[in-house]
Amino acid sequence: MSILELKNICYTYGVGTPFEKKAVNDVSFSVNKGELIGIIGHTGSGKSTLVQMLNGLMKPTSGQVLLDGVDIWDKPKEIRKIRFKVGMVFQYPEYQLFEETVYKDISFGPFNKGLSQEEIDKEVRRAAKFTGIKDELLYKSPFDLSGGEKRRAAIAGVIAMDPDVLVLDEPTAGLDPMGRDVLLSQIVRYHKERQNTVLLVSHSMEDIARVADRIVVMNKSKLVMFDETQKVFARGDELEKIGLRIPQITKIMSQLRKRGVDVPEGILTVDSAVDYLLPFIKKEAR
Ligand SMILES: Nc1ncnc2c1ncn2[C@@H]1O[C@H](COP(=O)(O)OP(=O)(O)OP(=O)(O)O)[C@@H](O)[C@H]1O
């Protein structure tokens, strides 16, 4: 069953000015409950504009966003309620931490949602656990945390609202490789345990390959592909034409396939390639 449906969404910046720019052009797709959707595309392809329309932060110039079958703009006065249902983690969310303590920052959303003190506490602790924020950090100033910890605290603030859909715009941007790995695995764990719907915008094909069930590919404000991850990755030549480099390992696997080796379709990342190749290597070594 689809939880989120976009119908012919368009967004134009600066309508009627010399700077008019169509950033999203006639995009339609729907997301099933519990799916993890990756959104990829070259810089400037319209990804951020697209996702900011999912929680009513920006209103489409035309088209509809349906949440559980209802147009989110049906009752414009109630648009704030949508922001609790569709949680949005912006690029570099750590710049939005502003409270005295990490605890207060994480509790900001649940507090505004009108939860009781007991419920707020439960949500804060649950969100902190998902994002690996230890108890002792909760009482520190957010400014005393490391870059990676700040990022995770900011994400915890959105998770704590217990949204039906979680949207993350480039959550791993600027983190070192280990920080990226940790954060990605936390997102995957959150998705699995809560069985929530997650949309993840990323430049990194490797990140997307590791986590997404299906992928939306944006190019020049349009949706150009929407399919299961391995089917999208199998179209490496088309992706490269629009400036998206598939991971080297995916290329190697598809070359092997072309040469008649029976490589299963799901081998998209270094980890999956190692798992696949290890039995052969062990056999050789014997
Ligand atoms: N506030 C704005 N006013 C005018 N044009 C904008 C504005 N924000 C974005 N744009 C333009 O809209 C287009 C899409 O931008 P958007 O940020 O949605 O792309 P993106 O795919 O998220 O890029 P990135 O990966 O760099 O974040 C770009 O051409 C951009 O220059």
Q: Report pLDDT digits (tens) over 249-275.
A: 888 888 888 898 888 877 888 888 888
2-13 vs 21-32, strand pairing mode: antiparallel
Question: Of the segments 128-132, 223-227, 228-232, which one has the largest average pLDDT value?
Answer: 223-227
Both 217 and 268 in one domain: the answer is no
Q: What CATH number is given to the structural domain containing 189?
A: 3.40.50.300
Do 7 and 64 contact (CB within 8 A), yes or no?
yes
- DSSP string of 150-182? HHHHHHHHHHTT--SEEEEESTTTT--HHHHHH
> In the sheet where 214-219 sits, what is the strand order?
86-89, 165-169, 197-201, 36-41, 214-219, 222-228
Q: What is the CA radius of gyration of the chain?
A: 20
**Cα 157 from Cα 111, distance rounded (Å):** 11
Name the closest-CA residue to atom 31, ligand 1: 44
Both 56 and 158 in one domain: the answer is yes
**Residue 213, SS3?**
coil
Do 25 and 222 contact (CB within 8 A), yes or no?
yes
Pocket lining: 202 vs ligand 1, CB cutoff 6 Å: no
Both 214 and 273 in one domain: the answer is no
Both 254 and 241 in one domain: the answer is no
Pocket lining: 60 vs ligand 1, CB cutoff 6 Å: no
Both 25 and 63 in one domain: the answer is yes
59 pLDDT more than 80: yes
Both 150 and 27 in one domain: the answer is yes
99 compared with 227, residue with greater pLDDT: 227
Pocket lining: 14 vs ligand 1, CB cutoff 6 Å: yes
Both 130 and 212 in one domain: the answer is yes
Based on DSSP, count helices (H) and strands (E) in the chain, helices before strands. 12, 10
Mean pLDDT, residues 147-174 taken together: 93
Number of C-beta neighbours around residue 21 at 10 A: 14
- Complex-level ipTM: 0.97
Both 18 and 147 in one domain: the answer is yes
Both 225 and 253 in one domain: the answer is no
Owning domain of residue 36: 2-245
Q: In a mutational test of the pocket of ligand 1, which residue from 49, 50, 88, 205 has the highest number of ligand atoms less than 8 Å from its CB?
A: 49
The pLDDT, as a whole number, for residue 70 is 95
Joined together, the tokens standing for residue 216 give 């939306």
pTM equals 0.91
How many domains is the chain built from? 2
Both 170 and 268 in one domain: the answer is no
Pocket lining: 23 vs ligand 1, CB cutoff 6 Å: yes
Both 149 and 220 in one domain: the answer is yes
Tell me how many degrees the CA angle 101-106-112 measures, rounded to the nearest 5: 115
The pLDDT, as a whole number, for residue 96 is 84
Mean pLDDT, residues 235-246 taken together: 89
Q: In a mutational test of the pocket of ligand 1, which residue from 21, 51, 216, 219 has the highest number of ligand atoms less than 8 Å from its CB?
A: 21
Name the closest-CA residue to atom 12, ligand 1: 23
Between the CA of 22 and the centroid of ligand 1 the distance, in Å, is: 9
User: Residue 102 — left, alpha, or beta (φ > 0 → left; ψ -120 to 50 → alpha)?
Assistant: alpha
Both 96 and 196 in one domain: the answer is yes
Name the closest-CA residue to atom 17, ligand 1: 48
